Amino acid sequence: MSKPDRSPGAEALGRALEHLAAGEWQRAHEIVQAHRSTLAAWLHGIVHTIEGDLENAQYWYRRARRAFPGAAAVKQEIAAARQRLPGAE
């Protein structure tokens, strides 16, 4: 069975996730700030967590309707977000 096609927005957020996993928060930020979905808000929160701007990260987690897990959970958050990406296996 083939994987469902991703929308252009999902493709972009997938690229943002790859940048986050590589620690490239600036590049991920450029992508996520152009999107308005709850997933984009969550990724935006992860961006600011990596950046060290925890107050801003908490704002974006509230926008995503998720509890802020703190800076130590970045890797787990990236993995969880990857699972929520449309078309993920």
Q: Per-residue DSSP letters for 2-69? A: PPPPPPHHHHHHHHHHHHHHTT-HHHHHHHHTT--SHHHHHHHHHHHHHHT-HHHHHHHHHHTT----
How far apart are alpha carbons 66 and 42 in whole angstroms?
Answer: 8
The whole-number pLDDT of residue 2 equals 39
Output the pTM of the full model.
Answer: 0.89
- Once rounded to an integer, what is the mean pLDDT over residues 55-69? 98
pLDDT-derived band at 6 (thresholds 50, 70, 90) equals low
Per-residue pLDDT at 7? 74
